[in-house]
Structure 1
Amino acid sequence: MDLPLREIAFIGLGSMGLPMAINLAKAGYAVRGHDMRQAAMDALVDHGGSACDGIGAACSGVDALFLMVVNADQAAEILFEGGALEALAPGGTVCLMSTCPPGAVETLAERVGVTGHAFVDCPVSGGVAGAQSATLTMMAACSAELFAALRPALTVMGSKLYHVGEKPGQGAVVKSINQLLCGVHLAAAAEAMALGGKVGLDRNVLLEIVGGSAASSWMLRDRGPRLLEADPNITSTVDIFVKDLGIVMEAGRDAKAAVPLAALAHQLFLAASGAGDGAADDSQVIRSYQRLNAMA
């Protein structure tokens, strides 16, 4: 597969997908993009890509399709009902980069394989900032040969690329473990800051102390300042962790592995969402603690 000489398709030009597709176009790839939002397709065109009105048009004759969509159900709809697989070149590759349950990814891979196409399970981590700066972490599960073929394109979008196994679903498992830690760390950070606020501490001083001690974590350092704001700018929403921690629990259930901390963190994010804060920055899981402690 010589991707730089052929057109590729990118479906899902959201807050992460759009900068990923733009980075591919800037690197010289002929990118055909498709999204429900015309503004996103226009932005891709502005950076050297092409906009396609339909899924079939985007995928027609291409060697590889990159999917950065909401969930596995949307991926399945695009592939099997939207005409993506029928339009791909014979033997073309589907690269699923969304965060999805491992079991759902395995099922998708099996269904794609029956059609004669290859499948790469390659979720990413790093958020919007990582997508924009091309510093995403990528966790690919596929054959070694396919990994080598796609590596040049993947490294355009991410700076940390890992081949985690050859079985689709393994990448999804790694991503779910990553999200387990992120969600639990963020919930714990929110609990700590809420406690400090409840007892009347200067939370800025508290954050400086714990952020530079053994108690720190990447999530505390990154989300800490926003935990202290009443209405911070949104980088990732509460509802994303509702979804991702739900995937963690599904992965645990399928493996018959208990994940009690993930379940508790999920309930805290779910409580924030249920109170109307689902679209708020994910740091605002602290509002769940504030409500529990009569601080709101």
Structure 2
Amino acid sequence: MENPVCSPPESAADHAGIQEMDILLVGAGKMGLPIARNIQRRGHRLSVLDSSAERRDLARAQGLKIAPTLESGLASAKVLITSLPHDAAFESMASEIVACMKPEQIYVDTSTVSLAASQRVSRAFQEAQIPWLRVAVSGNPQMVEQKQSTTIASGPLEVYQRVLPLLRLLGEAQFHVGPRDEARVMKLAINLMVSGLSALLAEALALGQKAGLDWATMCEVIAASAAGAPVVRAKVAQIKHYDFAPTFTVGQMRKDVGLILDAGMDLRVPLPQTGAVAQLLLQASALGFDSEDYASVIKAVQQSAGLPLHG
């Protein structure tokens, strides 16, 4: 892997010459929509393509232009960005992109997909001479909306430098970590830690609750302690009120943990703790929490410990 390239602090000059850029974004989902809004706010001409009528209506209601087809959207676009939910959607869209895209256009994929799917698509793009970046966006939709996410890119460095002003619209930190699929691995490694921390938080809260500690007090102490990493602090601020409104659902985290375990199998890296987290997420899903925040593993542990499902 190449040495990571971290971008310097943003300045007014960073956006010079890009205000007239035409961009097509495919996938107006939970992450794609705030990405699109942030880019359009900077004055770029952006259009959105999505197979869901509901998501198209939502994008249109938020002032975004809808592209009728991929071909028409690419007719004037300099950059294509995709934010797709899984391997099948990613690979299906990639086959259409290969047929429509021109070598002078740039493709940026922000989807969380498997290494195997990314490698298959990479071979097709290489044959078509289409430059592309894999860009992992670390953070939830609210963090993207507030320009607090971190972007981790891999692919040709020259292409990365050309789209860096766009990536700066999503957050304060940007990294280039290699020429191929390194960003995919880095995103999985980060999500491995996030999912593991949620499982540890669930066990810690259940242990304290069983011993009679006050729920809100536990959350405050954990946030202020040595264990209060940023993701833990953000989560306990929500869980303090026993609020499981989703920033990222149990189902979405199950999908990502599955990708992590697949990568571990492919790379021959044992991941026993992540395997246990996968089972805990499955338990939460079986209990009916699949559409709630992934922190609902807390409720799964509470139930296993014979505790009431409240804070």
Structures share a fold, TM > 0.5? yes
The answer for the alignment partner of 2:3 in structure 1 is none
Between the aligned partners of 2:61 and 2:299, the Cα distance in structure 1 is: 40
Letter in 1 for 2:23: I
Instruction: Look up the equivalent residue of 2:156 and give its one-letter code.
Output: S
Task: Tell me what 2:93 maps to.
Answer: 78
Match of 1:260 among 272, 276, 280: 272
Structure 1 position 30, deviation (Å): 1.2
Which whole-Å deviations, capped at 9, do the CAs of 1:32-87 have from their partners, x for residues lacking one?
2112344543554566542113233222342221011102221111121xx33322
Q: Deviations over 1:106-163 (max 9, x none)?
A: 2221222211211211111111112111222111001111111111111122321101
Alpha-carbon offset, residue 222 of structure 1: 1.2
Which structure has more RCO (C-alpha within 8 Å, separation ≥ 6)?
A: 2
Q: Aligned letter for 2:239?
A: L
Q: Secondary structure at the match of 2:172?
A: strand
- Correspondence for 1:87: 100
Which stretch of structure 1 is more off in the superposition, 25-34 or 83-92? 83-92
Which residue does the alignment assign to 1:65?
80
Q: Does 1:96 align with 2:109?
A: yes
The AA in structure 2 aligned to 1:73 is: A
The answer to whether the 8 Å contact 1:17/1:131 transfers is no
Alignment counterpart, residue 30 of structure 1, candidates 37, 42, 45: 45
Unaligned runs of 5+ in 1: none
Q: What is the one-letter code of the residue matched to 2:257?
A: L
Q: Which amino acid aligns with 1:141?
A: S
Q: CA RMSD in A?
A: 2.0
TM-score (norm 2): 0.87
Equivalent residues, number: 292
> What corresponds to 2:137 in structure 1?
124
Question: Contact (CA 8 Å) 2:20, 2:43: kept in 1 or not?
Answer: no
Residue 12 of structure 1 aligns with which residue?
27
What one-letter code is carried by the residue in structure 2 that aligns with 1:90? P
Please say which of residues 238-247 and 83-92 is displaced more in the overlay: 83-92
Out of 153, 171, 174, the position equivalent to 1:158 is 171
Evaluate the alpha carbon distance shift between residue 129 and residue 284 of structure 1 in structure 2; reply closer, same or farther with a 3 A threshold.
same
Secondary structure, aligned partner of 1:165: coil
Say whether 1:111 aligns with 2:124. Answer: yes
Q: How does 1:108-257 map to 2 (within 5 A)?
A: 108-167=121-180, 169-257=181-269
Contact 1:91 1:116 in 2 (8 A): no
Q: CA deviation at 1:249?
A: 0.9
Contact 2:216–2:241 at 8 Å: present in 1 too?
no
1:224-252 alpha-carbon deviations (Å, 9 max, x no partner): 14334445322221111111111111111
Separation in structure 1 between the aligned mates of residue 238 and residue 20 of structure 2, nearest angstrom: 44
Residue ranges of structure 2 left out of the alignment (5+ in a row): 1-16
**Offset of 1:279 from its aligned partner?**
0.1
**Whole-angstrom CA distance in 2 between matches of 1:162 and 1:212:** 29
- The alignment partner of 1:146 has SS state of helix
Is 1:269 the equivalent of 2:269? no
Per mean C-alpha deviation after superposition, the further-off stretch among 104-113 and 44-53 is 44-53
